[in-house]
Amino acid sequence: MNKIFKNRYLILRRLSQFTILFLYFAANYWGWKILIGNLSFSKLFNTIPLTDPYAFLQMLFAGAIISSNLIIGLVVILLFYGIIGGRAYCSWVCPVNLITDLAAWVRRKTHHEKDNLLSAMKIKKFRYAFLVIMLIFSAVIGAAAYEFINPIGFFTRGVAFTLGFTWVWLLVIFIFDAFVLKNGWCGHICPVGATYALIGAKNLIRVYHTKDNCTNCGNCFAICPENQVLSPVITKKDDFIHGIECTNCGRCIEVCNDNALKFSLRNFIKGEKNEKNSSN
């Protein structure tokens, strides 16, 4: 029981990810009308459209005529992740997270978590530049360029429709993450994740850190896939994890043995006061 509680968010996340994949599969094979489509565009209960914001941006740049369905779907996504979820898409919805989490686990088990073929420091801003360049190239070739290699699309289409050679590309991402660069794909390259980081920059649900409880054990740093967001806060002050790249996965809360971290609603006015106090 304790073990389940210790992994409560992980279990919920896996449940969420697998449920979404299952519903896509069921929509195509048995005609269930709960969630149809895939992660580029879906329809919830056959009415509410949901649009992938990065696919939308690419289509815009490619010069497509945008339909009202896509705009409504985009607004729904922007409202949900902008106000509530933050970058939760990456850890609660995206199926590629299953692969990269597995790769991170392999890394921990084989004790080479810090051995990277590429310099993680050098390419930490790569995803944002990549996001922009793929939009430019979308305009150049007249098609949504990143969608041709987007592993999220590959994965969901592979599950719901035809698999083909999809697994090759997913295997490449696993190998890249496990043996080339720690948290390489989701944390350094994926422009979809970068888009959600920007969308969710000001959302409400965030991890809150209580300084007095923290014993500086470093468990959260070891488990966090985006641990640059932890360093300005952990052991330093009572504050929310404000970093936009936090995926709200809740792993840090689970591994913390000192009750120093919890999910909470971010209060902007209070947050600003705290910052002023600490800087004084």
Partner 1 sequence: MDRRTFLNNLIQLSAATTAAGAVVAGFAEENKDKPLTLRPPGALPEDEFIKTCIRCGLCVEACKNRDNKMIVNGKEIDTLFLAAPGDKAPIGTPFFIARTGPCFMCDDIPCMYACPTGALTPKECQNDKGEVAIDYAKMGVAAIDPSSCIAFWGLQCTACYRACPELDKAITIEWKQNKRTGKHAYRIPVLHEEYCTGCGMCEMACVTEKPAIKIFPREVFLGKAGDRYVKGWDVKDQQRVKKASTKTTTKTPWSKKNPIQNLNQGVNWNE
Tell me the sheet residues that pair with 37. Answer: 42
If one counts every other C-beta atom within 10 angstroms of the C-beta of residue 141, the result is: 10
Task: Specify the stretch interacting with partner 1 by CB under 8 A; choose among 51-59, 101-109, 213-221, 228-236.
Answer: 51-59
By CB under 8 A, which span of 141-149, 178-186, 203-211, 238-246 interacts with partner 1?
141-149
d(CA 19, CA 25): 10
**Side chain identity at residue 56, one-letter code:** F
Give the CB-side neighbour count of residue 203, counting CA atoms within 13 A: 31
Strands of the sheet with 239-240, listed across from one edge:
239-240, 205-209, 261-265
Residue 238 phi/psi, 5° resolution?
-80, 110
Dihedrals φ, ψ of 197, to 5°?
A: -60, -40
How open is the CA angle 180-21-69, to the nearest 5 degrees? 105
Q: Which is nearer to partner 1, 79 or 140 (CB)?
A: 140
**Residues in contact with partner 1, shown as a per-residue x/- string from 54 to 93 under the rule CB under 8 A:** -x---x--xxxxxx-xx--x--------------------
Angstrom CA distances, 232 to 215, 236, 238, 239, 242, stand at 16, 7, 11, 10, 9
Query: Quick one: 14 or 43, whose CB is closer to partner 1?
Result: 43
Residue 49 CB, nearest distance to partner 1 (Å)? 6
Binding to partner 1 by residue 153, rule CB under 8 A?
Answer: yes
Of the candidate spans 77-85, 154-162, 201-209, 223-231, the one that interacts with partner 1 by CB under 8 A turns out to be 154-162
Only one of the segments 33-41, 216-224, 254-262, 264-272 lies at the binding site for partner 1 (rule: CB under 8 A); that segment is 33-41
**How many of the chain's residues bind partner 1 (CB under 8 A)?**
60
Query: Are 134 and 191 a contacting pair, CB within 8 Å?
Result: yes
> Letter for the amino acid at 209?
H
Beta carbon of residue 254, minimum distance to partner 1 (angstroms, whole number): 34
Interactions with partner 1, residue window 214-273 (CB under 8 A): none
Minimum distance from residue 177 beta carbon to partner 1 (Å): 16
Q: Is residue 149 involved in binding partner 1 (CB under 8 A)?
A: yes
CB atoms within 10 A of CB 185: 22
Task: Note the residues at the interface with partner 1 (CB under 8 A).
Answer: 27-29, 31, 36-38, 40-43, 49, 51-52, 55, 59, 62-67, 69-70, 73, 122-123, 125-126, 129-130, 132-134, 136-138, 140-149, 153-154, 157-158, 160-166, 168-169
